[in-house]
Amino acid sequence: MTAGKTRLKDIAMLAGVSIGTVDRVLHERGEVAAKTKEKVKKILLDTNYSPDITAQVLKSRKTICIASLLPEPSDENAFWKNHPSGMKKAINELDLFRINLYSVTFDMQNEEDFQQKAGEILKLNPNGVMLAPLFKSESVEFCRELSKLNIPYVFVDGFIDSTDYLAFIGEDAYRSGRVAGQLADLVTRRDQKIAIVCIARNIMNVQHLNNRINGFLSYFNKTFSSAERISRISITDPTPVIVENALDMAFAEHPGISTVYMSGSKSFLIASYLEKKGLDNVHLIGYDLLDRNVAYLRSGRIRFLIGQRPEEQTYKAVRKLFDFLSFNRIPEEKEYLPIDIVTSENVDFFLNH
Amino acid sequence: MTAGKTRLKDIAMLAGVSIGTVDRVLHERGEVAAKTKEKVKKILLDTNYSPDITAQVLKSRKTICIASLLPEPSDENAFWKNHPSGMKKAINELDLFRINLYSVTFDMQNEEDFQQKAGEILKLNPNGVMLAPLFKSESVEFCRELSKLNIPYVFVDGFIDSTDYLAFIGEDAYRSGRVAGQLADLVTRRDQKIAIVCIARNIMNVQHLNNRINGFLSYFNKTFSSAERISRISITDPTPVIVENALDMAFAEHPGISTVYMSGSKSFLIASYLEKKGLDNVHLIGYDLLDRNVAYLRSGRIRFLIGQRPEEQTYKAVRKLFDFLSFNRIPEEKEYLPIDIVTSENVDFFLNH
DNA sequence: CTGAAAGCGCTTACAG
DNA sequence: CTGAAAGCGCTTACAG
């Protein structure tokens, strides 16, 4: 709290050496006699010395370069639209340091594009990397290269266990599913039915959605058998016609569905379907504050959206990389951000900031 | 983004003057000929100069002192227990600057104690002040003194319009009431009744609670007349016996109450009552993650708690004061923090961090 | 193995 | 009104 008043100079005086020598033991730059080293180390500890960071930064003036590799946001997948603002916020806060951000995006339908962009980043030789590991094998490969070059990397949104990542920041999918389960339970009468919808193409994504769905189901397991009450609808293509057909079939097969849990971020597709079919009494619970979702939340067509703070994910990723690179602070390995319950009444607070 | 590479020295060269002169126009320290001033100013603008903060801090080494005046947390009012951790977090983040925090607490039942502690702070002559203006006239008086001494101050939790505050950080009470209303609506059948409880002694507090209650009522006004469905219970003393009697009367007078909205932070009192009386089917909605509230949330006795991020309030207050004092950044006048909807399933995320 | 010195970019007296 | 110089606390060659 009280910034250290002892300076290198004071340590040097106490030890009867020059500040150059103190600096050498401080940074373990060698070339110091064992005895002097011991003496200085002791005094360093006794005085609880901590360097003045402003002076360090002023002197060294090295520029830190952080690269990010995230999916290109699109209409098809607007979830990634807000991630850049978190990075910008972090950079702004750190503007007294020399820090550069090199943002790269890849086409999330295209493994090759990921590989190519990863290659670009490797060529740049940044000090640290943040990535969303959407494609497993390609990501593993990239991480291996980074490790080889001694470049630390942080995962955002998902993580791969077999790699040597510095940190992961994201959602606890299982628990977000449990939260959704609780909300679904709250709005669904015991004699009514619940449907779980899963729309997914790529495998990583499916894993994440499955975790959510397992969490969702786990909430009901405790109370009573869910088998008869909960049905699952899997759709492999988000094209509206295909979605419509799949839902038509499901609603025909399971009469009495009064709540739909959309495990991914495309609730607006379901909302649009329900509106079209006049299914006004069906509750809809989904994820992420995409513009189209928020519009349906406001109109009442979507009851709850669960937020996972995309800006905060990238904000924290940049901060953790920076703190590690500058001050050697080792972050917690995994940080799960709060699971926000968002309704039409509190959504505004989660949009601007 | 890219930190400015032009230095005072460069400006001086371009203007054909010494860096001392540039510095004088930069900080408007006078003693500069009008012509030179103009010339330098133009170059400053053209080059988009921004000073190197590390060098500034290193040189000036002035210590900023921020004082806080908050209520002493107690069993009686545990809401204030978590505010200090937000201040600590801010101080830790700013540890490369010379910044001291002087925390003072007052007895929230005692106006005189507030005055005395305010006097202590004035004697200290800090650079900035953060306060919770629980007592109106005493706070106005204190603020007047601060203004006279040119000490900026930031309100936390509440604000007083007639004063000259730098910023306010807190809850939008009306809208938090609306959120509660929406949640109450969700769990209450149309043929069931809702009770609003208000326990308060001091007047500022009542104002805040009234704003919440008005927000709550406004949610129902739109849909249908609430007069017949919603009753209000006012209690002036949080002593369990008194609370019990008041609730006994209310439940007797309004049969069919199935949801209780507790407008203040003492939901645990209601929860305890409901448990004692075996009123297991009554939904309870309240505020703030006090230990005792959280325990009832976990057990299911409390359905929803609305959180107002106490740590973030003080964190932001310290940051805003610091940014203003150090870099002359003028903050937004009022910042309303997100209204968190907390249930037994997501509460953990809101506790640690 | 160790010390003396220069310099990072700024601010602050001081001399003229 | 203006400039030259010292110094904030550190790091980095360089000389010995």
Residue B54 has pLDDT above 60, yes or no: yes
The pLDDT, as a whole number, for residue B282 is 95
Contact B299, B183 (CB under 8 A): no
What share of chain A in percent tops pLDDT 70?
Answer: 95
More reliable by pLDDT, A10 or B248: B248
CA distance A312 to chain B (A): 13
The pLDDT, as a whole number, for residue A3 is 39
Give the CA distances from residue A159 to residues A107, A118, A128, A153, B222, in Å, rounded to whole numbers and listed in that order: 19, 16, 16, 11, 46
Place B90 in a pLDDT band, splitting at 50, 70 and 90: very high
The pLDDT, as a whole number, for residue A353 is 56
Place B345 in a pLDDT band, splitting at 50, 70 and 90: very high
Give the CA distances from residue B353 to residues A337, B89, B175, B347, in Å, rounded to whole numbers and listed in that order: 9, 10, 24, 11
Residue B74 CA to nucleotide D16 C1', Å? 67
Average pLDDT of chain B? Answer: 89
Q: Exposure of B27 by Cβ count < 10 A (0-12 exposed, 13-18 middle, 19+ buried)?
A: exposed
- Compute φ and ψ for A154, nearest 5 degrees: -120, 135
For A337, other C-beta atoms within 10 Å of its C-beta total: 18
What share of chain B in percent tops pLDDT 70?
Answer: 95
Q: What is the mean pLDDT of residues B66-91?
A: 89
Q: Report the distance separating Cα A71 and Cα A80, nearest Å.
A: 7
A2 touches chain B (CB under 8 A): yes
Please name which of B105, B170, B177 lies closest in space to residue B309, comparing C-alpha atoms: B170
Q: Which of A90-99, A336-345, B97-106, B234-243 has maximum average pLDDT? A: A336-345
Q: Report the distance separating Cα B216 and Cα B223, nearest Å.
A: 13
C strand bases under 7 Å from protein CB: 1-5, 7-14
| Residue range A172-218, pLDDT digits in tens | 999 999 999 999 999 998 889 999 999 987 656 678 899 999 999 99
Q: Most B CBs within 10 Å: which of A7, A54, A297, A318, as the mutation test of the B interface?
A: A54
Place A2 in a pLDDT band, splitting at 50, 70 and 90: very low
B343 touches chain A (CB under 8 A): yes
Beta strands in B163-272 (DSSP E): 167-170, 193-199, 230-235, 257-262
The pLDDT, as a whole number, for residue A216 is 95
B351 touches chain A (CB under 8 A): no
Angle A80-A83-A88 from CA coordinates, rounded to 5°: 150
DSSP A160: -
Cα A304 to chain centroid, rounded = 21
Count of positions (residues) in chain A: 353
DSSP A224: S
The pLDDT, as a whole number, for residue B1 is 35
Place A337 in a pLDDT band, splitting at 50, 70 and 90: very high
Residue B188 CA to nucleotide D9 C1', Å? 65
Q: What is the mean pLDDT of residues A136-158?
A: 93
| Residue range B173-220, pLDDT digits in tens | 999 999 999 999 999 988 899 999 999 876 666 788 999 999 999 998
Q: Report the distance separating Cα A33 and Cα A56, nearest Å.
A: 25
Q: Report the distance separating Cα B320 and Cα B314, nearest Å.
A: 10
| Residue range A55-75, pLDDT digits in tens | 888 887 778 899 999 999 887
Give the tokens for residue B169. 């950080």
The pLDDT, as a whole number, for residue B116 is 96
CA distance B321 to chain A (A): 15
Residue A352 has pLDDT above 80, yes or no: no
For B165, other C-beta atoms within 10 Å of its C-beta total: 21
B49 touches chain A (CB under 8 A): no
| Residue range B231-278, pLDDT digits in tens | 999 898 888 899 999 999 999 998 889 999 999 999 999 999 999 999
Give the CA distances from residue B278 to residues A336, B86, B248, B262, B301, in Å, rounded to whole numbers and listed in that order: 37, 39, 12, 18, 11
Query: Which is it for the CA torsion A285, A286, A287, A290, positive or negative?
Result: negative
**Contacts for A332-337: CB closer than 8 Å, 24+ residues apart:** A332/A167, A333/A165, A333/A167, A333/A168, A334/A159, A334/A167, A334/A168, A335/A167, A335/A168, A335/A169, A335/A170, A336/A170, A336/A171, A336/A172, A336/A175, A336/B349, A337/A169, A337/A170, A337/A171, A337/A308, A337/A309, A337/A312, A337/A313, A337/B349
Residue A21 CA to nucleotide C12 C1', Å? 31
The pLDDT, as a whole number, for residue B59 is 84
The pLDDT, as a whole number, for residue A1 is 35
Beta strands in B203-266 (DSSP E): 230-235, 257-262
As a whole number of Å, the end-to-end CA separation of chain A is 29
D strand bases under 7 Å from protein CB: 1-5, 7-14
DSSP B60-99: H-PPEEEEEEEEPP-STTGGGGSHHHHHHHHHHHTTTS-E
Place A224 in a pLDDT band, splitting at 50, 70 and 90: low
Place B342 in a pLDDT band, splitting at 50, 70 and 90: very high
Q: Which of B54, B336, B344 sits opposite A58 (nearest CB)?
A: B54
Q: Report the distance separating Cα A221 and Cα A119, nearest Å.
A: 46
Q: Report the distance separating Cα A138 and Cα A115, nearest Å.
A: 6
DSSP A79: G
Do A96 and B338 make contact, defined as CB atoms within 8 angstroms?
Answer: no
- Compute φ and ψ for A2, nearest 5 degrees: -75, 110
Residue B3 has pLDDT above 60, yes or no: no
How many beta-carbon pairs under 8 angstroms link A with B? 102
Please name which of B80, B62, B60 lies closest in space to residue B71, comparing C-alpha atoms: B80
A222 touches chain B (CB under 8 A): no
Residue B32 CA to nucleotide D6 C1', Å? 22
Residues of B in contact with A308 (CB under 8 A): none
